Amino acid sequence: VYLIKQSINNWLAMTARVVRLPQRVRDEIRELIGIRKSFIENFGREPFNHELVQMTGKSEFKIVQLLEI
């Protein structure tokens, strides 16, 4: 029984390392994804970072951070 509990606890410890993002960050990512999708639909290509900066009003550093998540 001890070995079973230990195995389960080890498995949970390895798989439970999910990073939770704050709600505002998730909202910013969703907004950015929506803007990218509409840009792709309109122009048929991925937007450059400077174009995302113009469309969102966020800094380029913030755009890069959000795209890396």
- Entry pTM: 0.68
d(CA 49, CA 17): 30
Task: For 10-50, write each residue's pLDDT tens digit.
Answer: 777 776 556 677 889 989 999 999 999 999 999 999 999 99
Q: Is 58 helix (H, G, I), strand (E, B) or coil?
A: coil
From residue 69, alpha-carbon distances to 10, 30, 50, 62 in Å are 27, 12, 18, 11
Would you state the torsion angle of the CA atoms of residues 11, 20, 67, 29, taken in this order, to the nearest 10 degrees? 140
